[in-house]
Structure 1
Amino acid sequence: MHIIKSLNLLFPLMQVEKQATKKKSSKISIYITLDIIFLILSIIIPYVLVSQNQTGSCLHHIEDSEGSLWIVGRSLGFSTLIWFIISTIYGIRTKKLARAFGSYKKARDFHCLNALVTNIIFIIHVASLLSSEPWGDLIFDGEFNHIPPPLFITKLATGIIFGVVMFFVNMSAFYFRDMKRMKKFGFKNFIRIHYIMLSLSILLGIHIFLINTELLVIYWG
Protein backbone atom coordinates (compact mmCIF):
# COMPACT_ATOMS: atom_id res chain seq x y z
CA MET A 1 0.00 0.00 0.00
CA HIS A 2 2.81 2.39 0.86
CA ILE A 3 4.43 1.68 -2.51
CA ILE A 4 1.15 2.40 -4.33
CA LYS A 5 0.70 5.67 -2.43
CA SER A 6 4.27 6.68 -3.23
CA LEU A 7 3.71 5.95 -6.91
CA ASN A 8 0.47 7.95 -6.87
CA LEU A 9 2.40 10.92 -5.49
CA LEU A 10 5.30 10.41 -7.88
CA PHE A 11 3.31 10.36 -11.13
CA PRO A 12 1.85 13.90 -10.72
CA LEU A 13 5.34 15.22 -9.98
CA MET A 14 6.68 13.57 -13.11
CA GLN A 15 3.86 15.12 -15.14
CA VAL A 16 4.67 18.56 -13.73
CA GLU A 17 8.35 18.12 -14.61
CA LYS A 18 7.48 17.03 -18.14
CA GLN A 19 5.22 20.06 -18.60
CA ALA A 20 7.94 22.38 -17.29
CA THR A 21 10.48 20.83 -19.67
CA LYS A 22 8.08 21.26 -22.60
CA LYS A 23 7.52 24.93 -21.70
CA LYS A 24 11.27 25.57 -21.56
CA SER A 25 11.79 23.78 -24.88
CA SER A 26 9.02 25.86 -26.45
CA LYS A 27 10.70 29.04 -25.16
CA ILE A 28 13.95 28.04 -26.86
CA SER A 29 12.04 27.40 -30.09
CA ILE A 30 10.37 30.82 -29.81
CA TYR A 31 13.72 32.59 -29.31
CA ILE A 32 15.31 30.76 -32.25
CA THR A 33 12.30 31.54 -34.46
CA LEU A 34 12.51 35.22 -33.50
CA ASP A 35 16.24 35.14 -34.27
CA ILE A 36 15.55 33.81 -37.76
CA ILE A 37 12.89 36.48 -38.36
CA PHE A 38 15.21 39.25 -37.09
CA LEU A 39 18.03 37.90 -39.27
CA ILE A 40 15.92 38.01 -42.43
CA LEU A 41 14.52 41.48 -41.67
CA SER A 42 17.90 42.90 -40.60
CA ILE A 43 19.37 41.94 -43.97
CA ILE A 44 16.45 42.68 -46.29
CA ILE A 45 15.28 46.05 -44.89
CA PRO A 46 18.69 47.83 -44.92
CA TYR A 47 19.43 46.42 -48.38
CA VAL A 48 16.11 47.64 -49.79
CA LEU A 49 16.48 51.11 -48.22
CA VAL A 50 20.08 51.55 -49.39
CA SER A 51 19.44 50.26 -52.92
CA GLN A 52 16.24 52.32 -53.38
CA ASN A 53 17.80 55.56 -52.21
CA GLN A 54 20.99 54.85 -54.13
CA THR A 55 19.12 55.62 -57.37
CA GLY A 56 19.26 59.30 -56.39
CA SER A 57 23.05 59.56 -56.25
CA CYS A 58 26.31 58.14 -57.58
CA LEU A 59 24.62 55.90 -60.14
CA HIS A 60 27.93 54.88 -61.70
CA HIS A 61 28.73 52.90 -58.55
CA ILE A 62 25.99 50.35 -59.20
CA GLU A 63 26.52 49.67 -62.88
CA ASP A 64 28.39 46.38 -62.39
CA SER A 65 28.96 43.61 -59.84
CA GLU A 66 31.56 45.67 -57.97
CA GLY A 67 29.03 48.47 -57.63
CA SER A 68 26.42 46.04 -56.35
CA LEU A 69 28.88 44.87 -53.70
CA TRP A 70 29.07 48.48 -52.51
CA ILE A 71 25.34 48.41 -51.77
CA VAL A 72 25.55 44.96 -50.17
CA GLY A 73 28.52 46.00 -48.02
CA ARG A 74 26.91 49.21 -46.82
CA SER A 75 23.58 47.58 -46.04
CA LEU A 76 25.34 44.82 -44.10
CA GLY A 77 26.99 47.55 -42.02
CA PHE A 78 23.54 48.37 -40.64
CA SER A 79 22.84 44.64 -40.24
CA THR A 80 26.05 44.29 -38.20
CA LEU A 81 24.93 47.12 -35.91
CA ILE A 82 21.53 45.46 -35.38
CA TRP A 83 23.06 42.07 -34.58
CA PHE A 84 25.73 43.57 -32.37
CA ILE A 85 22.97 45.11 -30.23
CA ILE A 86 20.96 41.87 -30.19
CA SER A 87 24.00 39.76 -29.28
CA THR A 88 25.11 42.18 -26.56
CA ILE A 89 21.65 42.26 -24.97
CA TYR A 90 21.54 38.47 -24.92
CA GLY A 91 24.99 38.43 -23.30
CA ILE A 92 23.84 40.81 -20.56
CA ARG A 93 20.65 38.77 -20.02
CA THR A 94 22.38 35.37 -19.87
CA LYS A 95 21.03 34.60 -16.39
CA LYS A 96 17.46 35.43 -17.38
CA LEU A 97 17.83 33.30 -20.50
CA ALA A 98 19.16 30.46 -18.36
CA ARG A 99 16.05 30.61 -16.18
CA ALA A 100 13.82 30.68 -19.26
CA PHE A 101 15.65 27.79 -20.94
CA GLY A 102 16.20 25.83 -17.73
CA SER A 103 19.93 25.56 -18.44
CA TYR A 104 22.97 27.84 -18.35
CA LYS A 105 24.53 25.75 -21.11
CA LYS A 106 21.60 26.37 -23.45
CA ALA A 107 21.67 30.10 -22.63
CA ARG A 108 25.41 30.28 -23.34
CA ASP A 109 25.01 28.31 -26.57
CA PHE A 110 22.23 30.65 -27.66
CA HIS A 111 24.41 33.68 -26.97
CA CYS A 112 27.29 32.06 -28.88
CA LEU A 113 24.96 31.49 -31.83
CA ASN A 114 24.08 35.20 -31.93
CA ALA A 115 27.74 36.20 -31.56
CA LEU A 116 28.61 33.91 -34.47
CA VAL A 117 25.88 35.43 -36.66
CA THR A 118 27.18 38.93 -35.83
CA ASN A 119 30.75 38.02 -36.79
CA ILE A 120 29.69 36.34 -40.04
CA ILE A 121 27.68 39.41 -41.11
CA PHE A 122 30.61 41.65 -40.13
CA ILE A 123 33.09 39.60 -42.19
CA ILE A 124 30.81 39.67 -45.26
CA HIS A 125 30.33 43.44 -44.73
CA VAL A 126 34.09 44.04 -44.81
CA ALA A 127 34.74 41.63 -47.70
CA SER A 128 31.97 43.19 -49.80
CA LEU A 129 33.27 46.73 -49.31
CA LEU A 130 36.87 45.76 -50.04
CA SER A 131 35.72 44.14 -53.29
CA SER A 132 33.45 47.03 -54.27
CA GLU A 133 33.75 50.22 -56.23
CA PRO A 134 34.38 52.91 -54.91
CA TRP A 135 35.69 51.47 -51.63
CA GLY A 136 38.22 49.25 -53.33
CA ASP A 137 39.55 52.29 -55.21
CA LEU A 138 39.57 54.39 -52.04
CA ILE A 139 41.51 51.86 -49.99
CA PHE A 140 43.85 50.36 -52.56
CA ASP A 141 44.27 53.20 -55.09
CA GLY A 142 43.59 56.31 -52.99
CA GLU A 143 40.96 57.67 -55.38
CA PHE A 144 39.06 60.14 -53.18
CA ASN A 145 36.34 61.21 -55.59
CA HIS A 146 33.50 61.60 -53.10
CA ILE A 147 34.97 62.00 -49.64
CA PRO A 148 37.86 64.07 -48.19
CA PRO A 149 40.76 61.88 -46.97
CA PRO A 150 40.49 62.95 -43.28
CA LEU A 151 36.83 61.90 -43.15
CA PHE A 152 37.55 58.64 -44.92
CA ILE A 153 40.46 57.83 -42.59
CA THR A 154 38.31 58.65 -39.54
CA LYS A 155 35.52 56.46 -40.86
CA LEU A 156 37.92 53.62 -41.61
CA ALA A 157 39.69 53.88 -38.24
CA THR A 158 36.49 53.88 -36.18
CA GLY A 159 35.20 50.90 -38.14
CA ILE A 160 38.43 48.93 -37.73
CA ILE A 161 38.79 49.66 -34.01
CA PHE A 162 35.21 48.76 -33.23
CA GLY A 163 35.20 45.76 -35.56
CA VAL A 164 38.33 44.22 -34.06
CA VAL A 165 37.12 44.72 -30.47
CA MET A 166 33.64 43.41 -31.32
CA PHE A 167 35.05 40.36 -33.10
CA PHE A 168 37.21 39.30 -30.15
CA VAL A 169 34.50 40.02 -27.57
CA ASN A 170 32.09 37.89 -29.59
CA MET A 171 34.66 35.11 -29.82
CA SER A 172 35.12 35.30 -26.04
CA ALA A 173 31.55 34.01 -25.75
CA PHE A 174 32.83 30.70 -27.11
CA TYR A 175 35.83 30.71 -24.76
CA PHE A 176 33.63 31.30 -21.73
CA ARG A 177 31.18 28.52 -22.60
CA ASP A 178 33.31 26.50 -20.20
CA MET A 179 31.85 27.20 -16.75
CA LYS A 180 35.26 26.78 -15.09
CA ARG A 181 36.65 29.57 -17.24
CA MET A 182 33.56 31.70 -16.63
CA LYS A 183 33.82 31.27 -12.85
CA LYS A 184 37.53 32.07 -12.93
CA PHE A 185 36.97 35.20 -15.01
CA GLY A 186 33.82 36.23 -13.13
CA PHE A 187 30.33 36.52 -14.55
CA LYS A 188 30.10 40.18 -13.46
CA ASN A 189 33.25 40.96 -15.45
CA PHE A 190 31.72 39.18 -18.43
CA ILE A 191 28.65 41.44 -18.15
CA ARG A 192 30.82 44.55 -17.74
CA ILE A 193 32.56 43.78 -21.03
CA HIS A 194 29.18 43.80 -22.77
CA TYR A 195 28.25 47.16 -21.22
CA ILE A 196 31.61 48.57 -22.35
CA MET A 197 30.87 47.30 -25.85
CA LEU A 198 27.52 49.09 -25.82
CA SER A 199 29.26 52.33 -24.85
CA LEU A 200 31.77 51.81 -27.66
CA SER A 201 28.89 51.67 -30.12
CA ILE A 202 29.34 55.44 -30.43
CA LEU A 203 32.32 54.55 -32.63
CA LEU A 204 30.00 52.53 -34.81
CA GLY A 205 27.64 55.50 -34.98
CA ILE A 206 30.47 57.74 -36.18
CA HIS A 207 31.57 55.06 -38.64
CA ILE A 208 28.11 54.70 -40.18
CA PHE A 209 26.88 58.29 -40.25
CA LEU A 210 29.98 60.26 -41.31
CA ILE A 211 29.25 62.87 -43.96
CA ASN A 212 29.13 61.72 -47.59
CA THR A 213 28.97 58.05 -46.62
CA GLU A 214 26.20 55.62 -45.76
CA LEU A 215 23.02 57.64 -44.98
CA LEU A 216 24.33 61.03 -46.04
CA VAL A 217 25.54 59.87 -49.45
CA ILE A 218 22.09 58.38 -50.01
CA TYR A 219 20.31 61.70 -49.56
CA TRP A 220 22.95 64.31 -50.39
CA GLY A 221 25.73 62.36 -52.17
Structure 2
Amino acid sequence: MPDQPSTLREQRRAETQRTIQAHAVRLFTEHGYDATTVSDVAEAAGVSPMTVYRHFPTKEDLVLVDQNGRLVAERIIASSAAQPLVRRIGSALIDSAATLTRGGQRDDLTAGEQFLLARLRLMISTPALRAKHLDNHYALQQAIVDALGGDAADLDTAFHAHAAASACLAAMHTALVRWAEDDGRTELPDLIAKALAAAFDNDIVDTGPNA
Protein backbone atom coordinates (compact mmCIF):
# COMPACT_ATOMS: atom_id res chain seq x y z
CA MET A 1 0.00 0.00 0.00
CA PRO A 2 2.36 2.74 -1.21
CA ASP A 3 -0.11 5.57 -0.51
CA GLN A 4 -0.49 4.78 3.20
CA PRO A 5 2.62 6.64 4.51
CA SER A 6 1.67 9.72 2.51
CA THR A 7 -1.90 9.52 3.80
CA LEU A 8 -0.70 9.20 7.39
CA ARG A 9 1.62 12.15 6.95
CA GLU A 10 -1.20 14.22 5.52
CA GLN A 11 -3.47 13.26 8.43
CA ARG A 12 -0.81 14.20 10.97
CA ARG A 13 -0.13 17.44 9.15
CA ALA A 14 -3.82 18.30 9.11
CA GLU A 15 -4.17 17.48 12.81
CA THR A 16 -1.16 19.64 13.68
CA GLN A 17 -2.57 22.46 11.60
CA ARG A 18 -5.96 22.23 13.33
CA THR A 19 -4.31 22.22 16.77
CA ILE A 20 -2.17 25.25 16.01
CA GLN A 21 -5.07 27.20 14.54
CA ALA A 22 -7.37 26.36 17.46
CA HIS A 23 -4.84 27.69 19.96
CA ALA A 24 -4.19 30.76 17.82
CA VAL A 25 -7.86 31.71 17.55
CA ARG A 26 -8.33 31.15 21.30
CA LEU A 27 -5.35 33.36 22.19
CA PHE A 28 -6.32 36.05 19.70
CA THR A 29 -9.84 36.10 21.15
CA GLU A 30 -8.69 36.16 24.78
CA HIS A 31 -5.72 38.55 24.51
CA GLY A 32 -6.20 40.37 21.23
CA TYR A 33 -4.71 39.73 17.80
CA ASP A 34 -1.99 42.39 17.99
CA ALA A 35 -0.99 41.47 21.55
CA THR A 36 -0.49 37.78 20.71
CA THR A 37 2.72 36.70 18.99
CA VAL A 38 3.43 33.66 16.85
CA SER A 39 5.76 32.49 19.62
CA ASP A 40 2.81 32.64 22.05
CA VAL A 41 0.81 30.45 19.68
CA ALA A 42 3.67 28.00 19.26
CA GLU A 43 4.11 27.66 23.03
CA ALA A 44 0.40 27.07 23.58
CA ALA A 45 0.30 24.44 20.80
CA GLY A 46 3.46 22.72 22.04
CA VAL A 47 5.39 23.24 18.81
CA SER A 48 8.22 25.48 17.62
CA PRO A 49 7.63 28.83 15.91
CA MET A 50 9.20 27.27 12.79
CA THR A 51 6.50 24.59 12.79
CA VAL A 52 3.83 27.28 13.02
CA TYR A 53 5.29 29.09 10.02
CA ARG A 54 5.54 25.82 8.11
CA HIS A 55 1.77 25.43 8.35
CA PHE A 56 0.85 29.12 8.35
CA PRO A 57 3.29 31.33 6.41
CA THR A 58 1.87 34.53 7.93
CA LYS A 59 0.25 35.45 11.23
CA GLU A 60 -2.92 36.38 9.38
CA ASP A 61 -3.14 32.85 7.95
CA LEU A 62 -3.63 31.52 11.48
CA VAL A 63 -7.14 32.96 11.32
CA LEU A 64 -7.94 32.98 7.63
CA VAL A 65 -6.86 29.53 6.41
CA ASP A 66 -9.80 27.12 6.04
CA GLN A 67 -11.21 24.34 3.87
CA ASN A 68 -13.99 26.37 2.30
CA GLY A 69 -12.32 26.76 -1.09
CA ARG A 70 -11.90 23.02 -1.51
CA LEU A 71 -15.47 22.29 -0.36
CA VAL A 72 -16.97 24.88 -2.71
CA ALA A 73 -14.89 23.68 -5.67
CA GLU A 74 -15.89 20.05 -5.09
CA ARG A 75 -19.57 20.92 -5.09
CA ILE A 76 -19.30 23.07 -8.20
CA ILE A 77 -17.49 20.30 -10.08
CA ALA A 78 -20.22 17.85 -9.05
CA SER A 79 -23.04 20.17 -10.22
CA SER A 80 -24.62 20.18 -13.65
CA ALA A 81 -22.97 22.47 -16.20
CA ALA A 82 -26.43 23.05 -17.67
CA GLN A 83 -27.43 25.17 -14.68
CA PRO A 84 -26.90 28.96 -14.58
CA LEU A 85 -23.54 30.01 -13.14
CA VAL A 86 -25.00 31.76 -10.12
CA ARG A 87 -27.12 28.71 -9.27
CA ARG A 88 -24.08 26.44 -9.37
CA ILE A 89 -21.99 28.82 -7.31
CA GLY A 90 -24.76 29.79 -4.89
CA SER A 91 -25.75 26.19 -4.19
CA ALA A 92 -22.08 25.30 -3.60
CA LEU A 93 -21.65 28.16 -1.12
CA ILE A 94 -24.81 27.14 0.75
CA ASP A 95 -23.86 23.44 0.83
CA SER A 96 -20.30 24.13 2.02
CA ALA A 97 -21.66 26.38 4.79
CA ALA A 98 -23.97 23.57 5.86
CA THR A 99 -21.00 21.20 6.02
CA LEU A 100 -18.90 23.63 8.07
CA THR A 101 -21.69 24.41 10.54
CA ARG A 102 -23.44 21.02 10.42
CA GLY A 103 -26.79 22.55 11.28
CA GLY A 104 -26.18 23.06 15.00
CA GLN A 105 -29.00 24.44 17.13
CA ARG A 106 -28.70 28.17 17.65
CA ASP A 107 -28.89 27.92 21.45
CA ASP A 108 -26.23 25.21 21.47
CA LEU A 109 -23.58 25.93 18.85
CA THR A 110 -21.34 23.06 17.79
CA ALA A 111 -17.59 23.34 18.33
CA GLY A 112 -17.16 23.91 14.61
CA GLU A 113 -19.68 26.75 14.62
CA GLN A 114 -18.09 28.37 17.67
CA PHE A 115 -14.67 28.19 15.99
CA LEU A 116 -16.00 29.69 12.74
CA LEU A 117 -17.81 32.41 14.68
CA ALA A 118 -14.64 33.32 16.59
CA ARG A 119 -12.69 33.52 13.33
CA LEU A 120 -15.34 35.73 11.72
CA ARG A 121 -15.35 38.12 14.68
CA LEU A 122 -11.57 38.41 14.46
CA MET A 123 -11.77 39.08 10.71
CA ILE A 124 -14.37 41.79 11.20
CA SER A 125 -12.69 43.52 14.16
CA THR A 126 -9.00 43.35 13.14
CA PRO A 127 -7.81 45.76 10.41
CA ALA A 128 -4.85 43.57 9.40
CA LEU A 129 -7.16 40.59 8.93
CA ARG A 130 -9.69 42.58 6.93
CA ALA A 131 -6.94 43.55 4.48
CA LYS A 132 -5.62 39.99 4.21
CA HIS A 133 -9.16 38.65 3.83
CA LEU A 134 -9.33 40.36 0.44
CA ASP A 135 -6.50 38.11 -0.77
CA ASN A 136 -8.42 35.07 0.42
CA HIS A 137 -11.52 36.39 -1.33
CA TYR A 138 -9.64 36.51 -4.63
CA ALA A 139 -8.22 33.03 -4.02
CA LEU A 140 -11.69 31.60 -3.42
CA GLN A 141 -12.99 33.42 -6.49
CA GLN A 142 -10.24 31.86 -8.59
CA ALA A 143 -10.97 28.41 -7.13
CA ILE A 144 -14.59 28.83 -8.17
CA VAL A 145 -13.61 29.94 -11.67
CA ASP A 146 -11.24 27.00 -12.03
CA ALA A 147 -13.97 24.59 -10.89
CA LEU A 148 -16.32 26.09 -13.47
CA GLY A 149 -13.70 25.73 -16.19
CA GLY A 150 -13.61 29.50 -16.59
CA ASP A 151 -9.85 29.55 -16.98
CA ALA A 152 -10.22 28.29 -20.57
CA ALA A 153 -8.99 30.19 -23.60
CA ASP A 154 -12.43 31.74 -24.11
CA LEU A 155 -12.03 35.15 -22.46
CA ASP A 156 -15.77 35.83 -22.43
CA THR A 157 -16.45 32.58 -20.56
CA ALA A 158 -13.77 33.39 -18.01
CA PHE A 159 -15.10 36.93 -17.60
CA HIS A 160 -18.63 35.70 -16.96
CA ALA A 161 -17.37 33.14 -14.44
CA HIS A 162 -15.33 35.77 -12.58
CA ALA A 163 -18.28 38.18 -12.51
CA ALA A 164 -20.72 35.53 -11.24
CA ALA A 165 -18.26 34.30 -8.60
CA SER A 166 -17.52 37.83 -7.39
CA ALA A 167 -21.23 38.69 -7.07
CA CYS A 168 -22.02 35.48 -5.19
CA LEU A 169 -19.09 35.95 -2.81
CA ALA A 170 -20.19 39.50 -2.06
CA ALA A 171 -23.62 38.18 -1.08
CA MET A 172 -22.02 35.48 1.07
CA HIS A 173 -19.83 38.05 2.84
CA THR A 174 -22.96 40.02 3.77
CA ALA A 175 -24.47 36.84 5.22
CA LEU A 176 -21.31 36.02 7.18
CA VAL A 177 -21.23 39.47 8.77
CA ARG A 178 -24.91 39.18 9.71
CA TRP A 179 -24.31 35.69 11.16
CA ALA A 180 -21.48 37.02 13.33
CA GLU A 181 -23.62 39.96 14.47
CA ASP A 182 -26.40 37.51 15.39
CA ASP A 183 -23.92 35.45 17.44
CA GLY A 184 -24.69 32.44 15.26
CA ARG A 185 -28.34 32.27 16.34
CA THR A 186 -29.58 31.89 12.77
CA GLU A 187 -28.68 29.15 10.32
CA LEU A 188 -25.72 30.30 8.22
CA PRO A 189 -26.83 28.40 5.07
CA ASP A 190 -30.23 30.11 5.33
CA LEU A 191 -28.61 33.53 5.63
CA ILE A 192 -26.46 32.88 2.58
CA ALA A 193 -29.53 31.75 0.63
CA LYS A 194 -31.39 34.92 1.65
CA ALA A 195 -28.45 37.13 0.65
CA LEU A 196 -28.21 35.41 -2.73
CA ALA A 197 -31.97 35.75 -3.25
CA ALA A 198 -31.70 39.47 -2.49
CA ALA A 199 -28.86 39.89 -4.99
CA PHE A 200 -30.45 37.71 -7.68
CA ASP A 201 -33.94 36.30 -8.23
CA ASN A 202 -35.49 33.62 -6.06
CA ASP A 203 -35.97 31.44 -9.12
CA ILE A 204 -32.26 31.77 -10.00
CA VAL A 205 -30.84 30.73 -6.62
CA ASP A 206 -32.06 27.18 -6.10
CA THR A 207 -31.43 25.94 -2.54
CA GLY A 208 -33.34 22.69 -2.88
CA PRO A 209 -31.88 19.19 -2.59
CA ASN A 210 -31.55 18.84 -6.36
CA ALA A 211 -29.56 22.05 -6.76
Q: If the TM-score is normalised by the length of the shorter chain, which range does it land in?
A: 0.3 to 0.5
TM-score by length of 1: 0.31
Greater percentage in helix: 1
Q: Which has the larger radius of gyration?
A: 1
Q: TM-score, normalised by structure 2?
A: 0.32
